[in-house]
Structure 1
Amino acid sequence: MKHKLSLFFLICFVSHYSYSQDVLPSVFANNQGERKWMIYQENFRALYRILYNEAAEQLDKRSAYVSAIQTKVNWIDYQQTLKQEYRASLTKFKKTPLNTRITGQLEREKFTVEKIIFESHPGFYVTGCLFVPKERQDPAPAIIYCSGHSDNGFRSEGYQRSIINFVEKGFIVFAFDPIGQGERLQYMDETTGGSKIGGPTTEHSYAGIQTLLTGSSISDYFIWDGVRVIDFLETRKEVDMNRIGITGRSGGGTQTALIAAYDERIHAAAPECYITTFKRLLQSIGPQDAEQNPYMSIKKGMDIPDLLHMRSPKPTLIVTTTHDFFSQQGARETFEELKKSYNALGVADNIQFTEDMGGHQSTKKNREAVNSFFMKSLNLPGDPTDHEVNLFKDEELWATPTGQVASSLKGNTVFELNQRYYSVRNLPQNSVKNKIKTTAGINFHRKFTAAVFTGKFSKGETVIEKYFIENDKNDYALPVYIIKKEGQKTQNVVVWNHPSGKEKLLGEATLMNILNAGNVVVSADLPGIGELYDPGFKGDGFVQGVPFNYIFIANLIGKSIPGIQAESIDLLMQFIESNDNFNDATLNAVAEGTLIFPSLIHAIFNNTFKKIAVLDPPPPSSYFLETKFYDPLLAFSIVPGSIGSYDWKDLFAFLPHTSVKIFEVKNKQQPEKIRQPEIVDFLRR
């Protein structure tokens, strides 16, 4: 697509245009140097503010509900409701043969290490190592160790230290590689042996978007890997299945909480440097990579503490540090809330909390607290002291010959699993609109309150009036240009919201042809674009310049980027309808690139435009199922959960068949020769 790289790269203020009287192009400039309207200096963060405000409202409702739960019976009812909702998305998975193989063995004085490969799904390989103490109880308790976001998985120094300390104290330990880490890269470069996409969080998020668009989360795959790990432990006679523990730090803490909430065979869980609340998380560092964002979980009434409520009354230890980037305040609030459910179930001592000075790290004090916790809860008395240990080299702990499943076994990836578990939902036409509302999160609830004129400037033959639009929620102001020829009287209005922002539109050759045909063009910067683009927002889902974290938080609250942009178009249309200069004008639209979906969503619910010219359409949604290395920017043009239910072309059925026409750019070098006469003629008729 011509503009595919511009949505999140465009800087809103350019200097190469020659504007009359040196008027700045920003609608927020007060034309006194670089100064802007004071109250709107942070307005470029509009998209995150919209998302956070909605999340906070939903989370406050959930907190009020949970605060009212008092009795044991009510807590059990709440817990069962959570479990039913939480487990529903994993019913698509069936247990298949593990096909376990032991590919090697290492000997240490106090323990042995077996290198393990099994299949959590057919052809989807999990790599790990089983650490077995030579002196142990028979059968012995086992700890599942989940790795955080390290390139080398459980082989990193910090994780090995905890693993070997556990095994030297008599615990059997199974440590495995998460998806996208260690030996399980999903996008391996055969030349370098590394990832073509990036580090672990990038691998998770890139694969996670493909999963999200089909209506689920990659967290399902992470949880299922953990379930199959427990299935593997059941095959080992050394393991006492009544004494299973699980722990891990950071991303490993996430996996610990997710897996332990799902599988009741886990008796004791100690998530480290992860537990907080969604509210504190979104207030501070924002949503994290894909597996930490279960599909629409906030919308469904779930918060991070609910992962631990589901475990009550089983032993749980929350492991924290004072300066972790996962909000410590959120961890403390979680602990206080969890006391209520554990107290109601009569096991107050089974929910524990440890805190030490430090950043996002495992401290000696915390490691010893975890040792003590497992020794007590899994009934293995001993000395909890954390000792120095001799580490293995990475390659010593490889379960595959090459250190990568992709090159050794040619196994499946999440990309193939998405195809396997994807199902088409042939919805009747009368159900499609409702499906769009529920997946895109449409709610045209903002009311136009004022249009603030902030000046005008000229460029060539055009005059551009600048406005920002205020609304009754006062959460952001929508930047708008009204573009016309000098002295032109309004005949028709063409709404053209450009994927790269309204200022970029001024350089489009087609613009003058549309103006010369007697049209006035109205253009807004929708959230995430132009003056509503935040250049500082990245997050750990930042893939090839595109911040997927916006998509993750939107989906958590049951909304979408196209849906939010459609709501902004509604605000723009309220402004146009209130403008006396446009009373008798015919309204048409140009919908382009990544803004086609939001434009059509608005149109089918509001029937505002007589005609819509569709330029540079994105590929069909099946593209994300068929294309392993997809264009990240295109994900912003698709509603999560829509694949298999509806595509952007399906929205045409709700519009008069003469009102929409697609104009594809056949000549990328000279698109104006293709576009101008045809588009203008279509809008004129």
Structure 2
Amino acid sequence: MLPCLSLTGWWNVSFSLPLFLLRRAEEHFEQAQVRWSQEVADASGVRARAERFRRFFLETLGGLPGEAPQPLSVEWVGEVRGKGFIVRKVIYESLPQFFVTAVLLVPERVEGKAPAILLVPGHFEWAKVDQALTVGVPLACNGFVVLAIDCLGQGERKSYYDPQTGAERIRWGTREHDYDGVRCQLLGTSIARYFIWDAMCGVSLLQSLPFVDGQRIGITGISGGGTQTCLMMVAERRLAAAAPACYVTGWETYINTFNPIDAEQVLPGLLANGFDFHDYFVAFAPKPAMLVATAYDFFPIEGALRTYERAREAYRALGAEERMEHFVHLGGHSDEGLVEPRVRFFLRHLKGSDAGFVPPPAEVGIGRDDLWCLPHRQLRADRPQSRRVFEVNRELGERLWADRAPLRSRAQAQALLRRLLAWREERPPLHPRLLGQSKVEVEGLEVASWRIFLFTEPDALVTGVLYRPASAGPTPLVLLVLEDGVEDLRPRDKEPSPAEVYIREQLKAGRAVLVWEPRGVGTTQVTGLGGGNPKDFYGIEHVLSTYALLLGRPLVGLRAWDVARGMDFARWLLHHRALPLAEANGEPVVHLAALGPTASLHALLAAVMEPAFASVELREALPPLSHVIMEEEHRLRPYQVLPGLLRSTDLPELLRLLETNP
């Protein structure tokens, strides 16, 4: 194996990328606090902030997927009687052939028009079934009509369920949400828009019922249902009260946990634009809201309490402080202890008083088996014509591409990527270190090597290893980007790795090779956070990529920037005569090469933005990203996604521009 000096004792390399993100977040938090203090000073400031957040929110979603949230069809498919209430099973279409399975709980005695609650599920496999029994029944026993729905990927709506085998090709819940979420992000939308639309159509269904008071509809859910509740607090103006549970915290606290968030929870640019969890309540104010939390949740209670105080400030400015409530249970991430407080909250604000609270009976007369809408309990089995996010998103892609004009120049591509990558114009000093020159013989050739680290921007640590023929004069330089940096140099089955074979070929051809590691890759791969494989689902690469999106700087963009700055390092070497490099027209001769799909993605984007590379070679590159949209199965991970890219171009077009517009 080629030599590679450790950087232990020189820098804390394994935490450098998280530290970079934390420091950028701190800058945003400081700026956001100043603006918050100004905007909550009076009612007009609060209203202006609410509308600003709502505009940002809808733009980030890519808008909503329909024109008016009305079910296209409503089919009542069964009825069972519980103790004091009736359950009516219903399937409605929120979009053509896009079915939502749900149950409606109706109190036996409804005098006039009753208030209603939309119950949105958390990340529970059986969704409406579990939530209807746990939360829906107590609400129905207290006089509320309750619509409990299955959200995407759960309950009877598992998108990748195979009716032939009963297996799931993609696991229900969060894995499915992220699997389809990256498809949406590529087109500049969010999977959250489909959660919201299903729920908005649920509100319309409730308003259409003659025994429901359409002006008294509330919403609640726990965990992922708390997420959906918050999303609806911004998008759905017809709601009269809301109680999100076990989701709300504060980003100043949560970002220090390095815990993951799901695709529907990612609003790119949220922190960069000065927003946080309290803005869901600002958008909902002055309507009654209750922040429901638990003291031992992985959504930290410290953040929840701070969000509550800030939300209360906004309500106070609107003269409605008493309408902003909170409840904290000494427990963990579950419904335990959180049902009665929510029922009482809705009684107070939708029925006038909670004095008549009725606890549910010990035996409610129904069980889980009574709450399914379909014979085989899955839309994929009983209604194979039903569409999923995959089909809806594919149709959106086809419409966008039909109207898309091709990019005709590198300048056009650079203008596009400058926005999508959040590209920096300023190129701060690198402050390079060349450490520990050593020499080794490789196949009869004496090779000198140096360990390198530098900063492509403040706190952005980039590392590398430079190899060159020891006795050679000025040589061209190959800037080599690998999937896992110097880790790819390790032997495989006692044989040299493909990366080492490539480097040896270049050295024998008289070129120097710089193995270049963008932030968080190889030497600076994050360790000690999350555990397991960093590139797995919910691994640290997944986590950091979503945090970077919140900060308005996609991880793909950060790493492409680092690759482009490899050219600046070569210029530094030439200017300072640190190493003899070949030059042409006053520039070092640098060939850019990448081995592997993610490395090739970063290199391609960097090459478009930095025209000084003499040539570009990409091996094992990603296929066209349009395949992710058009084909049911894909392998794209969140850390490989550049949101919005496919609205305007694709990787082959960018590569073609490099070849035709050098």
- Residue 228 of structure 1 corresponds to 201
Give the aligned residue type for 2:66.
F
Give the Cα separation in 2 of the matches to 1:427 and 1:343.
52
- Residue 573 of structure 1 corresponds to 567
- Residue 119 of structure 1 corresponds to 93
Post-superposition Cα deviations, 1:17-68, rounded to whole Å, max 9, x if no partner, equal 4x7xxx7x4531xxxxxxx22741xx22433333343333334322321111
2:227 is the alignment partner of 1:254: yes
- Residue 24 of structure 2 corresponds to 54
1:479 touches 1:524 (CA, 8 Å); kept in 2?
yes
Change in CA separation of 1:407 and 1:447 when aligned onto 2, cut-off 3 Å: farther
Once the two structures are overlaid, the 10-residue window that deviates more, 144-153 or 472-481, is 472-481
2:387 is the alignment partner of 1:395: no
Query: Equivalent of 2:183, from 198, 201, 210?
Result: 210
SS state of the match for residue 546, structure 2? helix
Give the Cα separation in 2 of the matches to 1:256 and 1:541.
30
SS state of the match for residue 109, structure 2? coil
Give the aligned residue type for 2:562.
S
* Runs of at least 5 residues in structure 2 that lack an aligned partner in the other structure: 490-495, 584-588
- Residue 413 of structure 2 corresponds to 432
Change in CA separation of 1:348 and 1:574 when aligned onto 2, cut-off 3 Å: same
How far is 1:486 from its partner?
Answer: 4.3
- Residue 146 of structure 1 corresponds to 120
2:496 is the alignment partner of 1:511: no
Query: Equivalent of 2:435, from 453, 474, 478?
Result: 453
Query: Equivalent of 1:526, from 515, 518, 521?
Result: 518
Q: CA RMSD in A?
A: 2.6
Give the Cα separation in 1 of the matches to 2:620 and 2:210.
61
- Residue 11 of structure 1 corresponds to none
1:297 touches 1:303 (CA, 8 Å); kept in 2?
yes
How far is 1:134 from its partner?
Answer: 0.3
Give the Cα separation in 1 of the matches to 2:193 and 2:535.
18
2:81 is the alignment partner of 1:107: yes
SS state of the match for residue 215, structure 1? coil
- Residue 395 of structure 2 corresponds to 420
- Residue 623 of structure 1 corresponds to 627
- Residue 471 of structure 1 corresponds to 455
- The equivalences for 1:189-200 within 5 A come to 189-200=162-173
Change in CA separation of 1:231 and 1:159 when aligned onto 2, cut-off 3 Å: closer
How far is 1:458 from its partner?
Answer: 3.5
- Residue 340 of structure 2 corresponds to 368
How far is 1:655 from its partner?
Answer: 4.1
Give the aligned residue type for 2:646.
I
How far is 1:249 from its partner?
Answer: 0.7
Give the Cα separation in 2 of the matches to 1:483 and 1:368.
67
Post-superposition Cα deviations, 1:187-210, rounded to whole Å, max 9, x if no partner, equal 113344342222411111111111
Give the Cα separation in 1 of the matches to 2:430 and 2:358.
64
1:589 touches 1:613 (CA, 8 Å); kept in 2?
yes
Change in CA separation of 1:599 and 1:353 when aligned onto 2, cut-off 3 Å: same
SS state of the match for residue 187, structure 1? coil
Change in CA separation of 1:271 and 1:375 when aligned onto 2, cut-off 3 Å: same
1:271 touches 1:317 (CA, 8 Å); kept in 2?
yes
Post-superposition Cα deviations, 1:400-434, rounded to whole Å, max 9, x if no partner, equal 11111111111111111112233234365454322
Once the two structures are overlaid, the 10-residue window that deviates more, 608-617 or 322-331, is 608-617
How far is 1:91 from its partner?
Answer: 4.4
2:570 touches 2:590 (CA, 8 Å); kept in 1?
no
Change in CA separation of 1:326 and 1:503 when aligned onto 2, cut-off 3 Å: closer
Give the aligned residue type for 1:448.
L
Give the Cα separation in 2 of the matches to 1:653 and 1:647.
10
Give the Cα separation in 2 of the matches to 1:630 and 1:234.
40
- The equivalences for 1:28-177 within 5 A come to 28=7, 36-37=8-9, 39-40=11-12, 43-69=13-39, 70-88=41-59, 89-95=62-68, 97-156=71-130, 160-177=133-150
Change in CA separation of 1:126 and 1:524 when aligned onto 2, cut-off 3 Å: same
Give the Cα separation in 2 of the matches to 1:491 and 1:428.
35
- Residue 310 of structure 1 corresponds to 283
Post-superposition Cα deviations, 1:199-257, rounded to whole Å, max 9, x if no partner, equal 41111111111111110111111111111100111221111111111111111111011
Change in CA separation of 1:300 and 1:645 when aligned onto 2, cut-off 3 Å: farther
Give the Cα separation in 1 of the matches to 2:482 and 2:457.
25
2:477 touches 2:581 (CA, 8 Å); kept in 1?
no
How far is 1:558 from its partner?
Answer: 2.3
Query: Equivalent of 1:201, from 171, 174, 190?
Result: 174
Give the aligned residue type for 1:641.
G
Give the Cα separation in 1 of the matches to 2:64 and 2:225.
24
Once the two structures are overlaid, the 10-residue window that deviates more, 195-204 or 428-437, is 428-437
Give the aligned residue type for 2:30.
D
Once the two structures are overlaid, the 10-residue window that deviates more, 163-172 or 607-616, is 607-616
Give the aligned residue type for 2:390.
F
SS state of the match for residue 522, structure 1? strand
Give the aligned residue type for 1:495.
L
Give the Cα separation in 2 of the matches to 1:50 and 1:596.
23
How far is 1:309 from its partner?
Answer: 0.4
SS state of the match for residue 90, structure 1? coil
Structure 1 runs of 4+ aligned residues shifted over 6 Å read none
SS state of the match for residue 387, structure 2? coil
- Residue 666 of structure 1 corresponds to none
- Residue 586 of structure 2 corresponds to none
Give the aligned residue type for 1:379.
K
SS state of the match for residue 412, structure 1? coil
Give the Cα separation in 2 of the matches to 1:436 and 1:658.
16
Give the Cα separation in 2 of the matches to 1:501 and 1:548.
18
Give the Cα separation in 1 of the matches to 2:363 and 2:541.
40
* Runs of at least 5 residues in structure 1 that lack an aligned partner in the other structure: 1-16, 29-35, 660-685
- Residue 483 of structure 1 corresponds to 467
2:98 touches 2:387 (CA, 8 Å); kept in 1?
yes
Give the aligned residue type for 2:505.
N
Give the Cα separation in 1 of the matches to 2:437 and 2:367.
66
Give the Cα separation in 2 of the matches to 1:394 and 1:259.
27
Give the Cα separation in 2 of the matches to 1:84 and 1:532.
38
Give the Cα separation in 2 of the matches to 1:652 and 1:619.
12
- Residue 319 of structure 1 corresponds to 292
Matched pairs, number: 626
Change in CA separation of 1:409 and 1:657 when aligned onto 2, cut-off 3 Å: same
Change in CA separation of 1:387 and 1:285 when aligned onto 2, cut-off 3 Å: farther
> Scaled by the length of structure 1, what TM-score is found?
0.85
Give the Cα separation in 2 of the matches to 1:658 and 1:573.
19
Give the Cα separation in 2 of the matches to 1:494 and 1:359.
53
> How many percent identity over aligned positions?
25
How far is 1:153 from its partner?
Answer: 0.7
How far is 1:385 from its partner?
Answer: 5.9
